[in-house]
Amino acid sequence: MTQNPQLADLSSHGVAVWLDDLSRDRINSGGLAALTAERSVVGITTNPTIFGAAISGSDIYNDQISDLSKRGVAIDEALRMITAYDVRAACDVLAATAKRTGRDGRVSFEVDPRLAFDTHATFAEATSLWWLVDRPNLFIKIPATEACLPAITDTIALGISVNVTLIFSVERYKLVMDAYLTGLERRAKTENSSGFDGLESVASFFVSRVDTEIDKRLEAVGADSALQGKAAVANAVLAYQAYAEVIASDRWRKLAAKGANVQRPLWASTGTKNKAYPDTLYVSRLVAPDTVNTMPEATLQAYADHGEIGTPVQNQYEWAATVMEQIRAAGVDMDDAFTTLETEGVDKFKASWDDLVTSVSDELKRVG
């Protein structure tokens, strides 16, 4: 099958195209395989909201839920078995991509969001999910809360690939990169260079939610409307600049010389929430080498239809710094905004997980 030219061009500029969605229907129908063949998709991200939509919107899970009910499996364990089944199957669909690329072909599986502020429980959950899925092309998603930074280090040191999620600020992103490097350094002390084989990481920097929050605050302080719709891209650009500084450091070079793989920036939340903005805004404006863009299907198809490569991220550093300075000068408390976004992000995933627990619990009772 022929790859879509817009998405193939995006890939040629160093952007790995991932899909921010997964369901058993998509796997069984061959739809996921088709996206890899026709839409340059080389990875999958999931979260509690995605699984909630997949499971509540289909009866394809009924047989497995019935079997779990007959065995008397507890609700939390049942949910993990149901979602792990889909992640494992998706890993198998993308196994050839993983073998071909070495770094992609990955499927992300998130730790229980209720553990986002518990370091030790998050690490325990991460190792449990890794063993449960038992596929080398798996990413364990761990939130970038302060409490979880040590868990990220411990997980990497153990040799488990990690997708660090819910990053909103450049300052927190720098701590995430430090946590990754620290994990690699710990691993290097106990392993030779082969200990890094297959060990990968991405750092999921959220984009569109930043514009939603900052636009609201700009309007509240009566700032120039020309600043609206700028914060998200500017923030992400400065994050990439911070990444570029880290991979140019002696600290990283020493690890790279031992065979470590770079932790790529991943642009998440790239669907445009404000309909006044271009529907491919957070793809076209965030083109840079060694990045990942995980897109909801609507954004993926929009880019396939009319997407264009915008100004390279490396050429936007000065513009981005100026925009962020102007937003702060207008009276927007960026630190408070980022704290709010992180809290809301964790709360949203908790709510989705709670809804999923209720839905599957009701179904277990119904078929029991």
Task: Report the 3 state secondary structure along the chain.
Answer: CCCCHHHHHHHHCCEEEEECCCCHHHHHCCHHHHHHHHCCEEEECCCHHHHHHHHHCCCCCHHHHHHHHHCCCCHHHHHHHHHHHHHHHHHHHCHHHHHHHCCCCEEEEECCHHHCCCHHHHHHHHHHHHHHHCCCCEEEEEECCHHHHHHHHHHHHCCCCEEEEEECCHHHHHHHHHHHHHHHHHHHHHCCHHHHCCCCEEEEEECHHHHHHHHHHHHHCCCCHHHCCCHHHHHHHHHHHHHHHHHCCHHHHHHHHCCCCCEEEEEECCCCCCCCCCCCHHHHCCCCCCEEEEECHHHHHHHHHHCCCCCCHHHCHHHHHHHHHHHHHCCCCHHHHHHHHHHHHHHHHHHHHHHHHHHHHHHHHHHC
Summarised one tens digit per residue, pLDDT across range 267-278 is: 999 999 999 999
Summarised one tens digit per residue, pLDDT across range 193-224 is: 468 999 999 999 999 999 999 999 999 999 99
Taking the complete model, does pTM exceed 0.75, yes or no?
Answer: yes
pLDDT of residue 363: 79
Answer left, alpha or beta for residue 16, where phi above 0 means left and psi between -120 and 50 means alpha.
Answer: beta
Question: Any catalytic annotation for residue 141?
Answer: yes
pLDDT of residue 362: 82
pLDDT of residue 191: 60
Domains and CATH numbers, the chain: 5-367 (3.20.20.70)
pLDDT of residue 204: 98
pLDDT of residue 171: 98
Q: Which position among 70, 141, 230, 365 bears the catalytic label?
A: 141
Please answer whether residues 55 and 25 qualify as being in contact, where contact means their C-beta atoms are separated by less than 8 angstroms.
Answer: no
pLDDT of residue 194: 61
pLDDT of residue 117: 96
Q: Which residues, listed in sequence order, are joined to residue 303 by a DSSP beta bridge?
A: none
pLDDT of residue 195: 81
Q: What is the mean pLDDT of each run of 10 residues along the chain (368 residues)?
A: 91 98 96 94 95 87 91 92 97 97 96 96 98 98 98 97 98 98 94 77 98 98 97 98 98 96 98 96 98 98 97 98 98 98 96 88 78
pLDDT of residue 60: 93
Summarised one tens digit per residue, pLDDT across range 259-316 is: 999 999 999 999 999 999 999 999 999 999 999 999 999 999 999 999 999 999 999 9
In this structure, what is the dihedral angle of CA atoms 251, 319, 308, 14, given to the nearest 10 degrees? -10
pLDDT of residue 368: 65
pLDDT of residue 192: 53
What average pLDDT does the structure give for the chain? 95
